[in-house]
Amino acid sequence: MPHIVTDNCKLCRFTECVESCPVECFHADDEQLYIDPDVCVDCSACIPACPVQAIYEVIDMPEDKEPWIAINAERSRTLPIVIAKQEPLPTAEAQRAKLGF
Ligand code: F3S
Protein backbone atom coordinates (compact mmCIF):
# COMPACT_ATOMS: atom_id res chain seq x y z
CA MET A 1 0.00 0.00 0.00
CA PRO A 2 1.46 3.38 -0.94
CA HIS A 3 1.97 6.18 1.53
CA ILE A 4 0.05 9.45 1.51
CA VAL A 5 0.91 12.99 2.62
CA THR A 6 -2.08 14.65 4.28
CA ASP A 7 -3.04 18.17 5.27
CA ASN A 8 -0.81 18.25 8.37
CA CYS A 9 2.02 18.98 5.93
CA LYS A 10 0.30 22.14 4.76
CA LEU A 11 2.11 25.31 5.90
CA CYS A 12 4.89 23.11 7.41
CA ARG A 13 6.83 21.32 4.69
CA PHE A 14 9.59 20.18 7.05
CA THR A 15 10.91 17.81 4.31
CA GLU A 16 12.47 15.38 6.82
CA CYS A 17 10.46 12.77 4.91
CA VAL A 18 12.45 13.37 1.73
CA GLU A 19 15.71 12.55 3.50
CA SER A 20 14.34 9.23 4.73
CA CYS A 21 13.01 8.15 1.32
CA PRO A 22 15.09 5.58 -0.64
CA VAL A 23 13.41 6.53 -3.94
CA GLU A 24 12.28 9.83 -5.51
CA CYS A 25 8.58 9.81 -4.77
CA PHE A 26 8.04 13.26 -3.20
CA HIS A 27 6.69 16.22 -5.19
CA ALA A 28 6.01 19.73 -3.90
CA ASP A 29 3.96 22.84 -4.43
CA ASP A 30 4.22 26.05 -2.40
CA GLU A 31 2.30 24.61 0.54
CA GLN A 32 3.09 20.92 0.98
CA LEU A 33 4.44 17.65 -0.41
CA TYR A 34 2.69 14.77 -2.19
CA ILE A 35 3.78 11.16 -2.78
CA ASP A 36 3.66 9.53 -6.19
CA PRO A 37 1.93 6.20 -5.44
CA ASP A 38 3.55 4.56 -8.47
CA VAL A 39 7.06 5.34 -7.19
CA CYS A 40 6.59 4.79 -3.42
CA VAL A 41 8.12 1.43 -2.37
CA ASP A 42 6.09 1.21 0.85
CA CYS A 43 9.09 1.18 3.17
CA SER A 44 7.35 3.44 5.75
CA ALA A 45 10.60 5.24 6.60
CA CYS A 46 8.93 8.62 6.07
CA ILE A 47 6.18 8.06 8.65
CA PRO A 48 8.28 8.48 11.82
CA ALA A 49 10.46 11.11 10.11
CA CYS A 50 7.64 13.66 9.86
CA PRO A 51 7.42 15.86 12.98
CA VAL A 52 3.70 16.57 12.47
CA GLN A 53 2.48 13.04 11.58
CA ALA A 54 1.38 14.08 8.11
CA ILE A 55 2.09 10.73 6.40
CA TYR A 56 -0.01 7.56 6.54
CA GLU A 57 0.09 4.23 4.80
CA VAL A 58 -3.20 3.83 2.89
CA ILE A 59 -4.21 0.87 5.02
CA ASP A 60 -3.94 2.98 8.20
CA MET A 61 -5.62 6.14 6.91
CA PRO A 62 -8.22 7.74 9.16
CA GLU A 63 -11.48 8.00 7.21
CA ASP A 64 -11.45 11.80 7.15
CA LYS A 65 -8.04 11.76 5.44
CA GLU A 66 -9.05 9.44 2.59
CA PRO A 67 -9.56 12.24 0.01
CA TRP A 68 -5.80 12.73 0.20
CA ILE A 69 -5.22 9.42 -1.59
CA ALA A 70 -6.57 10.85 -4.86
CA ILE A 71 -5.01 14.27 -4.22
CA ASN A 72 -1.52 12.75 -3.86
CA ALA A 73 -1.91 10.71 -7.05
CA GLU A 74 -3.14 13.69 -9.02
CA ARG A 75 -0.81 16.41 -7.70
CA SER A 76 2.37 14.28 -7.79
CA ARG A 77 1.86 13.72 -11.51
CA THR A 78 2.54 17.33 -12.47
CA LEU A 79 4.58 18.89 -9.66
CA PRO A 80 8.40 18.90 -9.51
CA ILE A 81 10.26 16.18 -7.58
CA VAL A 82 11.94 17.13 -4.30
CA ILE A 83 15.11 15.10 -3.75
CA ALA A 84 16.79 16.96 -0.86
CA LYS A 85 15.77 18.46 2.44
CA GLN A 86 14.73 22.10 2.20
CA GLU A 87 14.16 24.86 4.74
CA PRO A 88 10.72 24.42 6.33
CA LEU A 89 8.16 27.06 5.38
CA PRO A 90 8.26 30.27 7.49
CA THR A 91 4.88 29.21 8.92
CA ALA A 92 6.13 25.74 9.95
CA GLU A 93 6.83 26.21 13.65
CA ALA A 94 3.59 28.09 14.27
CA GLN A 95 1.67 25.43 12.38
CA ARG A 96 3.41 22.61 14.29
CA ALA A 97 2.36 24.25 17.59
CA LYS A 98 -1.17 24.73 16.28
CA LEU A 99 -1.32 21.02 15.39
CA GLY A 100 -0.13 20.12 18.90
CA PHE A 101 3.30 18.63 18.10
FE1 F3S B 1 5.50 17.53 5.14
FE2 F3S B 1 6.16 16.12 7.22
FE3 F3S B 1 7.43 15.81 4.97
S4 F3S B 1 5.61 18.27 7.23
S5 F3S B 1 7.37 17.78 4.00
S6 F3S B 1 5.30 15.35 5.31
S7 F3S B 1 8.35 15.80 6.99
pLDDT single digits (tens) 38-50: 999 999 999 999 9
Confidence check: pLDDT of 89 > 80: yes
pLDDT at position 80: 98
Query: Atom 7 of ligand 1 has which residue's CA nearest to it?
Result: 50
Banded pLDDT at 17 (limits 50, 70, 90):
very high
Measure CA of the first residue to CA of the last residue in the chain; give whole Å: 26
pLDDT at position 34: 98
SS3 77: helix
37-68 burial code (b ≥16 CB/10 A, e <16): beebeeebebbebbbbebbbebeebeeebeeb
Confidence check: pLDDT of 99 > 80: yes
Tell me how far the alpha carbon of residue 48 is from its chain's centroid. Answer: 12
Are residues 51 and 96 in contact, defined by beta-carbon separation less than 8 angstroms? yes
Centroid of ligand 1 to alpha carbon of 61 (angstroms) = 16
Locate the ligand 1 atom nearest the alpha carbon of residue 49 and give its number. 7
Centroid of ligand 1 to alpha carbon of 92 (angstroms) = 10
Confidence check: pLDDT of 1 > 80: no
